[in-house]
Structure 1
Amino acid sequence: MPTFGLMPFSFRSLGIAMLLMLLIGGPAMLAWRFQDWRYGRQLAQLAQSQSETLNQISQAAAMQQKAEQDKRLALEQRLSNSEQTHYRALSDAQRDQDRLRDRLATADVRLSVLLDADDVSAGCAVPAAPGTGGLDHGAPRARLDPAHARRIIAITDEGDRGLIALQACQAYVRALRQ
């Protein structure tokens, strides 16, 4: 019988030791394997649940981002339309002012003001009724000097531009508030 070290070795004792290990350690090993399998299954379920939750969160975030992007694009479109409308109004007003300025320069039209015929303090004796050769049957009027007329047109032009710019600003604020 061979001996290894101090203990005598036999196949019979080895078999008994293995049998004892199986009897004692077998159920413990099976329990460990069962626990390992059960925890592995729970971890897999938890990972799948987390994956589904993350997928739902990312889908919700993508939908929200798409909605915000659509709102931004709609706002940009409204602002662009508003800008075009106000630019058109500004260019129309500018064209009208230029046309009026040209008509004043060519003496096609003259600016005049109404006079109060009853106001004697003005020191201007204007007849209340038109003369025999006059075609004007309305209230007495006085023509303005062309230089003064041009200044008045320039002032109204600035006023028109200011009003159009104010309308554009108001439309911009209204569009942002929607």
Structure 2
Amino acid sequence: MRLFDLIPAQFRIAAAASLLVLLATGSAALAWTVQGWRCGQQLERQARLHSDTLKELSLAAATQQRKEQDKRFALEQRLQSKDETHYKELTDEQNKQARLRDRLATADLRLSVVLATTDATSGCSVPTTTSTGRVVHGPARAQLDRTHAQRIIGITDAGDQGLIALRACQAYAKDVSAQK
């Protein structure tokens, strides 16, 4: 006797149908589980590839950022050294002008200018009259008053400072534009 013969006749169709439904549901569940495993493996592989790609991109970005920081640091160092050079030039020029003003104030040094001569005999570089104060032969010169000489030195000092500042600005602009 078979197991199928033990089921009453009115329930045999229902039992066969439920057996078929159970078989279909079991195979679907098994297929669902297998597909889940496969999809999980694919998602895991994609996630790994994605994380590897992100890691490479972050390393490349960090390297690029480090290069840019190094460039910026080098530029800052060059600009600082040039700034120190220009500051030294400026202070040297200011010290030189201060010494010149001090020498003018103490009458240690006198500024003089060449006089324009309209004399027809002035083509000769030897003076016609002898002077006791100088041995240099040349055009006649007039000494400037101390206050006027100091004003002239002040004007040239401002001009020198302006030229030094202009050179510093030009060097800065040249360095910055060379980096771009």
TM-score per shorter chain, which class? 0.7 to 0.9
Aligned-partner Cα distance in 2 for 1:83–1:132 = 51
1:113 aligns with 113
Change (3 A) 1:59 1:132: closer
1:68 aligns with 68
Which fold has the larger relative contact order, with Cα–Cα distance below 8 Å and residues 6 or more apart in sequence?
Answer: 2
Structure (1/2) with the larger helix percentage: 2
2:130 aligns with 131
Q: Point out the more displaced range, 52-61 or 133-142.
A: 133-142
Cα shift readout 1:3-34 (whole Å, capped 9, x = no counterpart): xxxxx9xxxxxx97885455333332221121
TM-score, length of structure 1 as denominator length: 0.80
Aligned-pair distance for 1:107? 1.2
Matched length: 161
Aligned-partner Cα distance in 2 for 1:17–1:103 = 124
Question: Conserved in 2, the CA contact under 8 Å of 1:128 and 1:140?
Answer: no
Aligned-partner Cα distance in 2 for 1:140–1:95 = 31
Aligned-partner Cα distance in 2 for 1:145–1:132 = 21
Question: Conserved in 2, the CA contact under 8 Å of 1:75 and 1:175?
Answer: yes
SS of equivalent residue, structure 2 residue 63:
helix
Aligned-pair distance for 1:100? 0.6
2:30 aligns with 30
Uncovered stretches (5+) of structure 2, i.e. residues with no partner: 1-7, 9-14, 120-124
Aligned-pair distance for 1:140? 1.1
Aligned-pair distance for 1:132? 5.2
1:77 aligns with 77
User: Partner letter of residue 86 of structure 2?
Assistant: H
* Percent identical: 54
TM-score, length of structure 2 as denominator length: 0.79
What RMSD in Å do the two structures reach over aligned CA positions?
2.5
SS of equivalent residue, structure 2 residue 27:
helix
Cα shift readout 1:56-109 (whole Å, capped 9, x = no counterpart): 111111111111111111111111101100000000000100111111111111
Aligned-partner Cα distance in 2 for 1:96–1:155 = 14
